[in-house]
Structure 1
Amino acid sequence: MNIKKLIPILEWLPNYNTSLFKGDLVAGITVGIILIPQGIAYALIAGLPPIYGLYCALVPQIMYAVFGSSRQVAIGPVAMDSLIVATGVSTLALAGSESYISIAILLALMVGSIQFIMGVFSLGFVVNFLSKPVITGFSSAVALIIGFNQFRNLFGVDFVQSDQLQVIIEDIWHQISNYNYHTTIIGLLSALIIIIFRKINKKIPNALIVVVIGIVIMKFFGKSFSDVSIVKDIPSGLPNFGVPDLDFEQIKELLPIALTLVMVGYLETISIAKSLEAKQDEYRIRPNQELIALGLSNIAGSFFKAYPSTSSFSRSAINQESGAKTGMAALVSVVMVLITLLFLTPLFYHLPKSVLAAIIIVAVFGLVNIKEAKFLWKANNLDFWLMLITFLATLLLGIKYGIIIGVGLSLIILIFRTSRPYVAELGKVPDSNFYRNKNRFEEVIIEKDILVFRFDAQLFYANSNYFRDRLDEMIDQKGNALKLIVLDAESINRVDSTGLEMLKERVKFFQKKDINFYFAGVKGPVRDDLFRSGILDIIDIKHFFMRVNQAVKFYKTGDRTHQEKYAKYIHQAN
């Protein structure tokens, strides 16, 4: 057992040096500066006291630095997961109450346990059932939901909180005239400053700048802005160790939200980790190890009052751009959060909530992926509609139903595509030994008595009837002149028992009609399955060929040169 694979920090820590630390130090400080105001803001999205956003930035970061296979991914509180937490927990308890906090922490333990189990049993492939269009539609919709939910803090009006956009918009429409002038001005100016600084240079700590400006304004000119809501007291000190309260009724009710957080959190992490991996050649991402790292981060975090956390797109990108080379950058960020929790929380007393709302709104609206939607419209209409349906379902029905509909549609499309794969009749390219699709190459020679049939997929129970029907259609088009069928099996990489029985039945049927049936380009494992099924009781082993042209040549001339060599090769291989 390779201990370095289980604990990836051992891959880089023994060779750690001063030159690496310089980059990690700068990156860690930069991310820490951004993380502190974001953590406070995202905790408010989750319906939790601000300090719980900082708790999420402690133990989870340490655990990921030790067990994560990516050296630059930044773990902690994120907007999307925070809203999902609020959506799930708000149905069970009043936001901000002790019961609400306890349930959110229990949710972190559940999410971490599921992620860890999936990683141990190498179940990372499950995430493949969420296609990219589904992810794009889901994340874009959630970004809008998060942003519109923050309008209550941006305008100083107690709008309804919901994960259904039409509910929020309806309430905004009825109450927008009650907006708070001072709160709105501070919020909109903060958003404008963030946007301007982001366009100048993304490395500028724009969130910290507006936080400092907001605090200074409220501290020294607070009397003129007494109607502006501020964060007020944030407790100092570190979180105490404690085991989350295990209530099995609550666990049962939280399970759908926990599974959603597992999938979304893993997708976020893998997406950013893969994009960062492509920019270097020092390490490789291991998906199942990422699940284990995320699981341990959330499990350990729940023992220190953290709610579910995952990787942040923005902080991870800034971490890489700022020179982070290893997980030491994350540990530097942890030190900054520790210093803040121990000594600096009183400084945030006068922080306006509208400033936090501006930080969140600018961050999440950037996740609405219009560029990807345009690309899908041009590249693949089916994927575009899949993205759009997931987007609308999430916006209008809620996050839980959005993810269910997205996964369901992905599976339906997967089944549809695998049950109706591409098939083609091949013709001979003039003056060559190659056979190509007659619908793509007009010059190919199609012979009346020969049908060369290509099937571009594995042959199994879901598409065996489709194989037979399409083959029969092409045979009917040939008419009574047909004397030879050649199955080009190069694209068939697997065949199950249903496919095998269908092939045997078809071969027998063609024999009764005095039509020869040859196999060409059959892969070794598929050929083994054919032989085990008893196909050689129906046709001779000499009816298997390496290439289509050899099969056709044998039929026309009786030339056994290639065929006998191949038959001998098959005997030796078996």
Structure 2
Amino acid sequence: MNIKKVIPILEWLPNYNTSLFKGDLVAGITVGIILIPQGIAYALIAGLPPIYGLYCALVPQVMYAIFGSSRQVAIGPVAMDSLIVATGVSTLALAGSESYISIAILLALMVGAIQFILGVFSLGFIVNFLSKPVITGFTSAVALIIGLNQFRNLLGVDFIQSDQIQYVVEDIWLQINNFNQHTTIIGLISVIIIITFRKINKKIPNALIVVVIGILIMKYFGNSFNDVSIVKDIPSGLPLFGIPDFDVDQIKELFPIALTLVMVGYLETISIGKSLEAKQDEYRIRPNQELIALGLSNMVGSLFKAYPSTSSFSRSAINQESGAKTGMAALISVVMVVVTLLFLTPLFYHLPKTVLAAIIIVAVFNLINVKEGKFLWRANKLDFWLMISTFLATLLLGIEFGIIVGVGLSLIVLIFRTSRPYIAELGKVPDSNFYRNKNRFEEVILEDDILVFRFDAQLFYANANYFRDNLDEMASKKGKALKLIVLDAESINRVDSTGLEMLKERIKFYKKRDVIFYFAGVKGPVRDDLFRSGVLQIIDINHFFMRVNQAVKYYKTGDRKHQEKYAKYIHQAYK
């Protein structure tokens, strides 16, 4: 076993030097400055006291720095997971209560355990059933839900909180006239400042700037803004070790939410990690190792009072842009959070909640991916409607049902595409040995007595009838003149028992009608399956060719010398 693969920090730590530290130091401080106000804000989304957002930025970051295969991904509290936590836990306990906090921490342990198990057994591929259009639709919808739910803090109105947007929009419409003027002004100015600084330079700690301004306003002019809600007391000190309270009934109820967090968290981490990986050539993301790292981050984090965490789009990008080269940057951010927890939490007493709402709203609305929607509309209409369906389902039915709809639709589209793959009749390109699709190359030569049929997918139970029906339809158009069928099997990478039986039955069918059946370009494993199924009892080994043109040439000229040599080769390969 390669210990460096299991503990990736050993890949870079032994060769660590001062030149790497300079970039990591700047990046770690920059991300830490952003992380502290974000952590407080995202804890509020999750329905937890602000201190738990900072707890979430401690142990999970350390564990990921040790076990994560990406050196620049920033782990910690994020808006999307925070809202999913609030959605699931709020049905079991009152937000902010001791019971609520206990359940949220238990949820982190469950999420971590599932992620760890998936990683250990190399089951990361399961999450691939969420296609990119589904992820885009889901992410955009959740961003919109999070943003609208923060209007209660931005405007100072006690709007209903829900992951079903119609109820939130209805309540905002009915109560919009009750907005708190001072709260709204501070919140909107914060939004403008954040957007302005983001446009100037993303490295500017805009979140920290509005937090400092908000605190100073409320501390020195608080008498004029006594109707503005502030964070107030945030406890000092580091989280103590403790095993989460176990309740079998709660675990059963939390399981669907835990699975949702597993999939969303892993997809976020992989998508961010892959995008950062493309910008360097020092390391490669290992999906199953990422699951193990996330699992350990959440499991060990839950022992130190962290709720479910994953990677942050914004902080990861800033981490990379600020010069982070290794996981040391994350450890530096942890040091900043530790210092804040030990000495600086009293400074956040006067922090207006509307400023935190502004930070969240700007951050999440950037996740609404209109550009991807426009691209899918041009490139693939089916993927576009898959994205829209997931988007609407998440908005109207809630986050949990949204991801269920997304996975379900992804599977339906997968089944549809594999059951009805692309098929084509090929013709010979003049003065060459190539055969091409007659519908794309008008100049190809088609012969009445020869049908060259191409099937662009694995051949299995879901599309065997589709193969047969299209083959028969093309053959019937040739009529009685048809004497040879050549199956171009280069694109068939797998065939199951249903496909094998269908092929044998069709070969027999056409043999009775004096039509010869040849195979061209069959891959070795597929050819082995054909031989094992008994196809050589119907046709002999000379019916298998490397290329379509060789099959047609053999049919026309009987060039046995070359074909017998190839037949001998594949016969030996099978043995």
What's the TM-score once normalised by structure 1's chain length? 1.00
Distance in 2, matches of 1:424 and 1:408, equals 30
Structure 1 stretch 544-553 or stretch 60-69: which is displaced more?
544-553
Deviations 1:449-487 (A, max 9, x none): 110001101111111111001000001111111011011
Match of 2:365 in 1: 365
Match of 1:336 in 2: 336
Distance in 1, matches of 2:503 and 2:557, equals 26
- In the alignment, residue 354 of structure 1 is paired with which amino acid? T
Match of 1:111 in 2: 111
Distance in 2, matches of 1:84 and 1:191, equals 24
Match of 1:17 in 2: 17
Distance in 1, matches of 2:522 and 2:198, equals 56
* In the alignment, structure 1 residue 314 sits paired with structure 2 residue 314: yes
Deviations 1:233-279 (A, max 9, x none): 00000001000001010000000000000000000000000000000
Distance in 1, matches of 2:521 and 2:351, equals 70
Q: Report the 3-state secondary structure (helix = DSSP H, G, I; strand = E; otherwise coil) of the residue aligned with 2:92.
A: coil
Q: Report the 3-state secondary structure (helix = DSSP H, G, I; strand = E; otherwise coil) of the residue aligned with 1:427.
A: strand
Structure 1 stretch 287-296 or stretch 456-465: which is displaced more?
456-465
Deviations 1:50-105 (A, max 9, x none): 00000000000000000000000000000000000000000000000000000000
> 1:70-469 alignment to 2 at 5 Å?
70-469=70-469
Q: Report the 3-state secondary structure (helix = DSSP H, G, I; strand = E; otherwise coil) of the residue aligned with 1:152.
A: helix
Q: Report the 3-state secondary structure (helix = DSSP H, G, I; strand = E; otherwise coil) of the residue aligned with 1:243.
A: coil
Deviations 1:266-298 (A, max 9, x none): 000000000000000000000000000000000
Gap regions ≥5 residues in structure 1: none
Q: Report the 3-state secondary structure (helix = DSSP H, G, I; strand = E; otherwise coil) of the residue aligned with 1:426.
A: strand
- In the alignment, residue 345 of structure 2 is paired with which amino acid? T
Match of 2:497 in 1: 497
Offset of 1:569 from its aligned partner? Answer: 1.0
Offset of 1:562 from its aligned partner? Answer: 2.1
Distance in 2, matches of 1:458 and 1:561, equals 32
> 1:466-545 alignment to 2 at 5 Å?
466-545=466-545
Offset of 1:412 from its aligned partner? Answer: 0.2
Q: Considering only aligned residues, what root-mean-square deviation do their CA atoms show, in Å?
A: 0.5
Offset of 1:571 from its aligned partner? Answer: 2.2
Q: Report the 3-state secondary structure (helix = DSSP H, G, I; strand = E; otherwise coil) of the residue aligned with 1:430.
A: coil
Offset of 1:433 from its aligned partner? Answer: 1.0
Q: Report the 3-state secondary structure (helix = DSSP H, G, I; strand = E; otherwise coil) of the residue aligned with 2:221.
A: helix
Distance in 1, matches of 2:550 and 2:17, equals 62
Distance in 2, matches of 1:279 and 1:373, equals 24
Distance in 2, matches of 1:550 and 1:71, equals 52
Distance in 2, matches of 1:526 and 1:64, equals 42
Distance in 2, matches of 1:229 and 1:136, equals 34
* In the alignment, structure 1 residue 33 sits paired with structure 2 residue 33: yes
Offset of 1:572 from its aligned partner? Answer: 2.3
Structure 1 stretch 564-573 or stretch 360-369: which is displaced more?
564-573
- In the alignment, residue 228 of structure 1 is paired with which amino acid? V
Match of 1:553 in 2: 553
Offset of 1:564 from its aligned partner? Answer: 1.1
Match of 1:52 in 2: 52
Distance in 2, matches of 1:222 and 1:544, equals 86
Q: Report the 3-state secondary structure (helix = DSSP H, G, I; strand = E; otherwise coil) of the residue aligned with 1:119.
A: helix
Q: Report the 3-state secondary structure (helix = DSSP H, G, I; strand = E; otherwise coil) of the residue aligned with 1:529.
A: helix
- In the alignment, residue 433 of structure 1 is paired with which amino acid? N
- In the alignment, residue 252 of structure 1 is paired with which amino acid? K
Q: Report the 3-state secondary structure (helix = DSSP H, G, I; strand = E; otherwise coil) of the residue aligned with 1:72.
A: coil
Distance in 2, matches of 1:529 and 1:167, equals 56
Distance in 2, matches of 1:168 and 1:538, equals 67
Distance in 2, matches of 1:174 and 1:543, equals 75
Offset of 1:127 from its aligned partner? Answer: 1.2
- In the alignment, residue 245 of structure 1 is paired with which amino acid? D
Structure 1 stretch 328-337 or stretch 544-553: which is displaced more?
544-553
- In the alignment, residue 240 of structure 1 is paired with which amino acid? L
Offset of 1:565 from its aligned partner? Answer: 1.5
| Percent of aligned pairs with the same amino acid | 87
Q: Report the 3-state secondary structure (helix = DSSP H, G, I; strand = E; otherwise coil) of the residue aligned with 2:425.
A: strand
Distance in 1, matches of 2:346 and 2:394, equals 39
Offset of 1:213 from its aligned partner? Answer: 0.2
Q: Report the 3-state secondary structure (helix = DSSP H, G, I; strand = E; otherwise coil) of the residue aligned with 1:454.
A: strand
Q: Report the 3-state secondary structure (helix = DSSP H, G, I; strand = E; otherwise coil) of the residue aligned with 1:442.
A: coil
Gap regions ≥5 residues in structure 2: none
Distance in 2, matches of 1:43 and 1:502, equals 58
Offset of 1:338 from its aligned partner? Answer: 0.2
Distance in 2, matches of 1:541 and 1:196, equals 72
Distance in 1, matches of 2:86 and 2:96, equals 10
Distance in 1, matches of 2:261 and 2:453, equals 46
Match of 2:68 in 1: 68
Offset of 1:561 from its aligned partner? Answer: 2.6
Match of 1:568 in 2: 568
- In the alignment, residue 44 of structure 1 is paired with which amino acid? L
Offset of 1:126 from its aligned partner? Answer: 0.8
- In the alignment, residue 43 of structure 1 is paired with which amino acid? A
